[in-house]
Amino acid sequence: MTHRDAADFYLTAADREEERDENLVTASRMFAAMARTEVGSHAVASALTEVFPWTQHLSRAERMDFSAELISALSDAAELIIDSNAHEVIAGWRATARVKADKREYSQAVAPTEGDYGPVECLT
């Protein structure tokens, strides 16, 4: 159902939602188990470039870190019903890849800085 001033919502049968949750838990556990083996961790990391083409701008070590963080966030989504973590992990790594893809922006980002740039404004 669509609301004018609120998020949309939908009705579904409880057993269907339970099955969906169980499927997410199973998939999350499978990826975590794969990542604990050398061959599996390489398979998961290499799959990242298929699922997230922008990971080509990350180093091999960064892709491994991304896959570990993503698996952990997916586990949180499945086991703890914390859905925002996976989105934040993906958005953070995509931002890193975006900076690294632009050679000029990346060189500015890694350049040493000096001095005091003043107080930081809190946006909360």
Residue 17 falls within a domain, yes or no?
Answer: no
Domain enclosing residue 58, as ranges: 38-103
Inter-CA distances, 27 with 24, 51, 57, 80, 108, Å: 5, 16, 27, 14, 40
User: What is the reported pLDDT for 73?
Assistant: 92
Read off the tokens for 58. Answer: 């990350």
Residue 22 falls within a domain, yes or no?
Answer: no
* Phi, psi angle pair for 27, to nearest 5°: -60, -45
Residue 72 falls within a domain, yes or no?
Answer: yes
Residue 14 falls within a domain, yes or no?
Answer: no
User: What is the reported pLDDT for 121?
Assistant: 84
User: What is the reported pLDDT for 84?
Assistant: 85
Read off the tokens for 74. Answer: 């997916």
User: What is the reported pLDDT for 34?
Assistant: 87
pTM above 0.95, yes or no: no
User: What is the reported pLDDT for 2?
Assistant: 66
Alpha helices in 81-111 (DSSP H): 84-101, 103-110
Residue 87 falls within a domain, yes or no?
Answer: yes
How far is residue 89's CA from residue 3's CA, in Å, rounded to a whole number? 29
Domain total of the chain? 1
List, run by run, the mean pLDDT of 10-residue segments along the chain (124 residues): 71 75 84 88 86 94 91 88 89 95 87 85 75
What distance, in Å, lies between the first and last C-alpha atoms of the chain?
Answer: 31
